[in-house]
Structure 1
Amino acid sequence: MLIIFLLLPLTLAFDPHLLSDEYIERINTKQSSWKAGRNFPEDTPLEHLSSLFGAIRSVIPKAYPIKTHDPDLIASLPESFDPREKWTNCPSLNEIRDQGPCGSCWAFGAVEAMTDRWCIHFGSQFHFSAQDVTGCDTKDSHGCFGGDPWQAWEFWNTDGIVSGGNFNSKQGCRPYEIPECIHGKNCSGGNVAYCVKECQEGYDTSYENDKKFGTKPYLLDGEDNIKAELFKYGPLEVSFIACPDLYHYKSGVYKCTMDTSECKGHAVKLLGWGIENDTKYWLLANSWNTYWGELGGFFKFLRGENHLGIEDVVTGGMPKNSDDINK
């Protein structure tokens, strides 16, 4: 069974308009756990906003591996945890990427967590390419038109993923090719991420030799096991039913303020956890550039209540070294 949120334009008759000051203020009057404000100019095309949600939320078969952790580790976990303070040698933990006008959040949440885990495990920074996954992982996924986060981790295991930085960065084998949407520029939808199995000109490693692999992916079940996995091995990928009020998140612990019939699937990197004003939260990294959200692209999300299904499909995997790629 597959739960699919299609990337359809936001044609709902918002009253007031989705990007109006009145709409933002209405969010703030409905709740007090988080603050809404302007992240996108009022003339941003709704087509662009709609393209930001692109996760196909699978109902994972029970035969898929579910990882649990030792009760003693769980009992010893701190009240709050931020991996940026534990693994200070991994700059990627502080990075926020930008998926542009493309429903590739499913790929971004995966490669961001993989990048962090590679550094945590091996002590060296390797930026996994969102372009490579978005363009070349076509099993149960559709590039800029949505994809399955779980399948991105399967792709790491079976096919391997090359390096690649942000748009226009010239970093790695396959940098991201879809430009950022900033101040109304480059905001048209309908983008396609092409699969090109060659590294960019001037890169000194071949496409096949640049690939790095991960283990068979696994799921984490329940808040305690998710926390233990984060604490021991680093970030994971989560998906949830994202609502249009999320576009306006500025600070605090996010809770949806609207009817979820207007919402679609979104995937992000999960880093850690904490408590703010007696409310438990997950610490997440979005892929909408640093001008969005709290402290440059990060945000807090209600924890422990499976709000919007965020604790349903939590995915991880471990990096392999070159001697283990056939295991």
Structure 2
Amino acid sequence: MTDRLAGIAPFVHAVEAGSFALAAERLNLTRSAVGKSIARLEERLGTRLFQRTTRSQSLTEDGAAFYSHCARALAELEAGETSLAAARHEPQGRLHVGVPVLFGRRCVAPLLLEMAARYPRLELQISFTDRIVDLVDEGVDLVVRSGRLSDAPADLVARKLGEQTMVLVAAPEYLARHGTPRCVADLAHHHAVVYASGRREAPWPLSDQGGTMREITMKQRLRFDDLETIAEAAKAAAGIARLPCWLIADALRSGELVKLLTDTPGPRVEMHLGWRRTRHLPTRMRVAIDLLMMRVPPMLTIGTEAEQERDRDRDRIVSKAGRRSKARQAGNAGRRLRANSL
């Protein structure tokens, strides 16, 4: 197959330089190599491109017409190479991400919007859906999925973001009226705000004191198929709720909700980031993957670590106060020693 670009660059340089010798110098070739390259190009095109004499060279009519096309083509190639080089450093182009509706809205979309604001040449599209997304048919670059990926296609690359932790919570006002459950058996005396879809209600899987996982069904009169509504009902003291920690982290920090039965955890739900396997991953995808892998995992457990963080802050304050006290004691001892030596 004939290389249609062969001889184009020497031809354009020869025109712009005004001589084969200068074109050869710019291309780091010999004058003979440039001449042979242009001769082969003329033979392939079936026309003369240069009118050459011993003292000068000039373009033929065909050569002038051909040069205008070649110059534009080389300029486009150079622009393409420049664009690719820039893309290796700055994300640009279209990025389509598929995310679960609520988790995507609360946790993923704000991060991707930060990314879009940082890189103005990036085009961002986010699809919110709780169904399984077909990356090829729907033109999705990255997908966030919950649960195991045993049914994922072989060409899907998956990286685990972490495990979503579900916690039992209630409002302080509810606990003041009904008491605080101390074990799983105590839940039988409490009201629950539960997730239900159609006529199906989802029981709560919790481990008992012996570590055996049990499905708990409580007294209930409020059932919703929306987690945000369940969280609002729990904050309104309507009952105990079981919710993902990332959804109620702020309410735990503010004290609107209190975590219950922390020593009886339920099963955790894996969260993954997936994309189609490719030899060359675009910069926009690499940057998005790195961003989500760094920022999303802490969100999956932040609610369960709220008390731990407060304990660490308290320990740091106590430790700092202790060091100041010891420093004051040492200073007082030194002053007493100096006074006794006088």
Please tell me the TM-score bracket, short chain as reference: under 0.3
- TM-score of the two chains, using structure 1 as the length reference: 0.22
Greater fraction helix: 2
Larger RCO, structure (CA 8 Å, separation 6 or more): 1
Larger C-alpha radius of gyration, 1 or 2?
2
